[in-house]
Amino acid sequence: MHRCSNCGVWTAHRNCPLCKRQLTDRIASLNMYPPYQSDAKYRNLKQRVFLFIAIFIISSSLLINLLTTPDQLWVFYIVGPVLYALLFINHTILSKAHVGSKIIFQVLALSAMLVVIDVAGGSTRWSIHYVIPFLVILATLMVTIIILRKPMKWREYLGYMMTMIFLGFIPVLLFLSALSYVLWPSAVTALYALLTFIGMGLFANKTMKNEIVRRFHF
């Protein structure tokens, strides 16, 4: 490529197409795009560091627990939060995953951590009865707000919204299977999921309705 110092244009010809001046034989090197600086390697290193820290904490706590009070496994109070913190840092903060998947992942990870703590504390099922149902409601509300604030990106979040609506009926299934014996939080969560689905059907535009029909093969 040659550059005309008079017109400032680049051309493969020896004469400028505008002023017709003869251009020099110097071939300029064009950097059409800036060099891409990937942080994947540095991010991967940080994820492995946090993984090692989590393994160190869990293994040390397990050893101390077994050597001091083997009849009381208090180590599970540490395992749950440490694993959740590891997943929170490596997936929610450091990864480039979609926001919708991060919200769903948080619901599942938090639910698992709460169940572990609940079981370690005597299994009174407070996590299944109350916390997890309202956690699902909160996550569904967050996805709804994101779609309302970013209507141009509704197609990206539609699958995550449908997943949250499905999760909204899980507490009712836990009640029917006798794993939970407090009905009203599960019923509220299912009702909220149902109202969200009805709202999508009533207020969605034609394109979104067609997308819902296509995904469910109605």
Q: Do 88 and 112 contact (CB within 8 A), yes or no? A: no
Which pair of tokens denotes residue 157?
């979040």
CA atoms within 13 A on the CB side of 137: 15
**% of the chain residues with pLDDT over 70:** 91
Residue 31 scores a pLDDT above 70: no
Percentage, residues of the chain above pLDDT 90: 39
Structure tokens at 92: 């929610």
Confidence of residue 24 (pLDDT cuts 50, 70, 90): low
CB 61 within 8 A of CB 83: no
Average of per-residue pLDDT across 209-216: 71
Instruction: Report the pLDDT averaged over residues 25-49.
Output: 70
Residue that has been written with the tokens 């680049």 in this structure: 10
Q: What is the value of pTM for the model shown?
A: 0.70
Q: How many whole angstroms separate alpha carbon 25 and alpha carbon 22? A: 9
- What does the pLDDT read at residue 137? 93
Q: What is the pLDDT of residues 93-147, one digit of tens each?
A: 888 888 889 999 999 999 999 998 898 888 788 999 999 999 999 999 998 888 8
> Helical H runs in the chain?
40-68, 76-87, 99-120, 126, 132-149, 154-167, 170-176, 183-203, 206-216
Q: Are 140 and 164 in contact (CB under 8 A)?
A: yes
Q: What confidence tens digit (pLDDT) does each residue in 149-184 have?
A: 887 777 788 888 889 999 999 999 999 998 888 999
Residues 6+ apart with CB under 8 A from 165: 140, 193, 194, 196, 197
CA separation for the pair 93, 131 (Å, rounded): 23
The pLDDT of residue 51 is 94
